[in-house]
A and B are shown apart, each in its own frame.
Chain A
């Protein structure tokens, strides 16, 4: 969704400078999800579909309360329900609202070859522009969180926009507005980190969660969506939240050293052949006899 009021600091598949880079004093926006106060009511799922006018799809029952196994191109916000056995043998429910993490260093954008199909605004939101998307699916490979999903009919990729349209008008994202327990917060990254750390401290000191902590993975430069977890040492327990996510090294290699090596080799090869033609030139004419080549015979 294109937003004229938001300036762009990163563009996929873009040659040259980026128009919005360093032009605006802008706060990084951030969504804080406190998994310890989530009750799994799915109001955020409904609000997301409502606000973004997403078409209804069939849900999938897999013996949990979860709506479907994973997010879809038209279902961007999904609470993952995980039954977790505590050390004392008692059962605990870990519920995590899953959606795009809005990485500061987005792997989707790094992998995307189509100009302007993925942008990052100066406020940190990573947004897909379906009009420019060519449907290659490289973003699916670049993402460490398995978030971008292909619409098989249009061959365009979709995901959570962090309600770019609402945020650009000074509103909070739809999911935040709908949350009844206050486990979702929205504000600047600094404020949300501060709030998250205070909450984690509270959990450590007053609720007996010694390992409580904040999930803001540095491997992707930090994220525009952060979690408070009961046990920050085991994020995998929350429906496979990766402990140390980063852009896949093969994508880094492909878009970095391999690209420059390849470009240098292709340009060097062309130049080399041209210089060879200038210096050595073509071989003998087709009908020229072989004999003169073998030295003049007396």
Chain B
């Protein structure tokens, strides 16, 4: 059997999952998001204002937060152009969502065959793209509130709500993302550091993608055909 994408195959039964530029942009977004999260939480509640002190003081945090926001926005925009073509929601994704209980209980053999991205990852992607755009727009208003004329004050009133709400949504996505990538799905964190995953990993979580890369069926002997 021929291999459609031999360039993706690595020694020791591994597949390249993320190329260097994908990993690099992911971490530009990751590190800028962590800074934004920490300083944002400091401004969010007095109980966490000490984070701003720790990171150089309230004034410094206020000054840098919007600049890191711009970096984050650029990284999200790049990731959008890199990945959006693979992020369309398909019937398999809908089935995947209906079966998400099995996924949470680690019954991965009962999951519909995901492609390069499963429905959860696609949701994360679209959540960050949409909330990122909302945070960018509202953030620009919050960056220069003193230049918003009094008759346009509704912009400021809207921006504080939009910025906080979309940030909270991304925090939810971020927590699940980090939990899945670092703790739950073993091998996933390595894929965004070194770039590759094992063949078994690809077969288990992304059988559609495995077949696309190797040209071989991920599940040659199914006991639970879908």
Contacts and interface: CB of A to CB of B under 8 A. Distances in A.
Interface residues of A, number: 55
A170 interface: no
A290 B221 CA distance: 11
Given A134-B62, A294-B109, A113 B49 contact: yes
Contacts of A286: 186-187, 190, 197-198, 200-201
Nearest to B53: A115
A10 B179 CA distance: 40
B219 A290 contact: yes
A225 B37 CA distance: 40
A153 interface: no
A280 interface: yes
A69 to B, nearest CB: 10
Interface in B80-125: 104-106, 108-109
Contacts of B105: 280
Contacts of B223: 294-295, 297
A245 interface: no
Interface stretch (B1-9, B68-76, B149-157): B149-157
A285 B106 CA distance: 12
Given A134-B62, A266-B168, A287 B184 contact: no
Contact of B204 (A277, A280, A293): A293
B175 interface: yes
B46 A266 contact: no
Interface stretch (A60-68, A200-208, A257-265): A257-265
B43 A250 contact: no
A140 B145 contact: yes
B150 A146 contact: yes
Contact of B168 (A262, A276, A287): A262
A47 interface: no
Given A13-B46, A283-B185, A294-B223, A273 B161 contact: no
Interface of B: 42-47, 49, 52, 58-59, 61-63, 104-106, 108-109, 142, 144-146, 150, 153, 156-158, 160-161, 164-165, 168, 171-172, 175-176, 179, 183-187, 190, 197-198, 200-201, 203-204, 218-219, 221-224
26 contacts: A15-B46, A114-B49, A134-B61, A134-B62, A136-B62, A136-B142, A140-B146, A141-B153, A250-B157, A250-B160, A259-B44, A262-B164, A263-B45, A265-B168, A266-B172, A266-B175, A269-B171, A283-B184, A284-B106, A285-B186, A285-B187, A287-B200, A293-B109, A294-B109, A294-B221, A297-B223
Interface of A: 13-15, 70, 111, 113-115, 132-138, 140-141, 146, 149-150, 152, 155, 248-251, 253-254, 258-259, 262-263, 265-266, 269-270, 273, 276-277, 280-291, 293-295, 297
